[in-house]
Amino acid sequence: MAPHNFAKLDTACVPTPCHVLDLARLEHNLQILKRVGDEAGVSVLLALKAFSCFAVSDLVMKYLSGTAASGLYEARLGRTRFGGDVHAYAPGLKDADIDELLDCSDHLILNSLQQWGRFRSRIEAHGGVETGLRVNPMHSEVENPLYDPCASWSRLGAPANQVTAADLEGLSGIHVHALCDHPYDAFDRMLSAVEARCAHLFGSVEWINLGGGLLITDDGFPLERFIERLAGFRERTGLKVYIEPGTAVALHAGALVSQVLDRFDYGAPLAVMDTSATCHMPDVIEAPFTPDLLGATALPRNTAMDAVDAHVIRLGGPTCLAGDIIGTYRFEMPPQVGDRLVFLDLAYYTMVKATTFNGMPLPSLALWDSRTDALEVVKSFGYADFEGRL
């Protein structure tokens, strides 16, 4: 399969801005993840923090075992909109939320031994929920500290060298997470670190959740090696193994369609779009990165004004934030006012992070099947969605 199918999309069929999900690529990804689960003997969960579009929940649950939630509301979404097992974790838990969180969850992962001690009696009185501890394997693969769960002074999980087998009394599992959109080799190194630094805990638990952050569904990912590595780990340890991909579920399956609102030259060619980096794709600014754009080549974010020509245009959003810049691109045919542009790979960590800063409307949501060209706009947003948050 090609990395994406959006060259075939008729953008005139959707409003702008609009998230478009390709059901064909989404199902392709889910089939890969199901193969991993079946052949490696592990359970695969959707990480809702990355992708939580319940309009495709039936398709997702046809292939996966359940969802991984990052708090009460995601757990509730997993229970009511997706089904399957719900695994919940949050660095901080409110006393007032515990009972409902337990009602919504099959697994509850505590962030610290102090948290476990504080809520243990209520968890055990509730019954029916397996509990685990998040453990920091003290192994960093993520270069940007903003996204590194194992960075120095991390608040995410108890350091492995500070947890003993006796500390896990009453708990049935452990959870580790150390990746962020990584290839296989990073997972291989991480798992080696987990085997070395958490081995003293394996005999005291029944399961381990290895987290997500791995580009399992990317083209060229070595599936056979990954499956073999997972199966070998499961057999050596005797543990039930969970993984919780997020990006991998929607990789290459989403695009954001936007329209050019204005074109001008203030020392360099500029265009204003009806979609915003800060509102609709905040990782573009936070990471930072420049999203791929259909029919154009992304240039470095530090491209100088005096290095451009008439085919290079910087695209920005319509907000008043000076840094609301999507990216700088080289076009064969520079776009004009009214043209529609398709930003690629903006399904994961986009819909879940969107805001209405400056009164910006949220993008609509369309489901499109590139196999049949069937398209349905399933959600549009208006003023009430902006006002209701205020």
41 φ/ψ angles, rounded to the nearest 5 degrees: 75, 35
Q: What is the pLDDT of residues 136-179, one digit of tens each?
A: 999 999 999 999 999 999 999 999 999 999 999 999 999 999 99
Specify the pLDDT at position 297: 96
Specify the pLDDT at position 2: 65
Residues 220 and 2: beta-carbon distance below 8 Å: no
The one-letter code for the residue type at 23 is L
Q: Give the Cα-Cα-Cα angle 256, 362, 318 (nearest 5 degrees).
A: 80
The SS3 of residue 271 is: strand
Q: For 1, which DSSP code?
A: -
Ligand-binding site membership of 283 (annotated): yes
Specify the pLDDT at position 22: 98
250 φ/ψ angles, rounded to the nearest 5 degrees: -105, 10
d(CA 154, CA 241): 24
Q: Which residues on adjacent β-strands are paired with residue 85?
A: 66
Specify the pLDDT at position 125: 97
State whether CATH 3.20.20.10 applies to domain 41-250. yes
Nearest to 263 by CA among 325, 332, 315, 320: 315
Specify the pLDDT at position 3: 83
Specify the pLDDT at position 268: 86
Q: For 307, which DSSP code?
A: G
Nearest to 149 by CA among 211, 202, 82: 211
pLDDT averaged per 10 residues, the chain (length 390): 87 98 98 98 98 98 98 98 98 97 98 98 97 97 94 97 98 98 98 98 98 97 98 98 98 98 92 98 95 96 81 96 96 95 96 96 98 98 96
The number of angstroms, rounded, from the C-alpha of 23 to the middle of its chain's C-alpha atoms is 17
Residue span(s) of the chain under CATH 3.20.20.10 come to: 41-250
d(CA 229, CA 220): 17
Radius of gyration, CA atoms only, the chain:
22
pTM for the complete prediction?
A: 0.96
**159 is written with which tokens?**
């350091």
Torsion of CA 85, 88, 94, 97, to 10 degrees: -10
Residues 11 and 342: beta-carbon distance below 8 Å: yes
209 φ/ψ angles, rounded to the nearest 5 degrees: -105, 120
Q: Which residues on adjacent β-strands are paired with residue 66?
A: 45, 85
Q: Under CATH, to which class is 6-19+254-346+354-387 assigned?
A: mainly beta
Looking at the chain, how many residues does it have? Answer: 390
Which residues 6+ apart lie within 8 Å of 145 measured at CB? Answer: 151
State whether the Cα torsion 209-215-217-223 is positive or negative: negative
Specify the pLDDT at position 310: 82
Question: Exposure string (b/e) for 367-383, b if CB count within 10 Å is 16 or more?
Answer: bbbbeeeebeeebeeee
Specify the pLDDT at position 306: 78
**176 is written with which tokens?**
């580790």
The one-letter code for the residue type at 126 is H
Helical (H) or strand (E) element with 11: none
Residues 270 and 322: beta-carbon distance below 8 Å: no
How far CA 194 is from CA of 95, 104, 179, in Å, comes to 31, 29, 12
Residues 84 and 281: beta-carbon distance below 8 Å: no
Nearest to 216 by CA among 255, 252, 175: 252
Residue span(s) of the chain under CATH 2.40.37.10 come to: 6-19+254-346+354-387
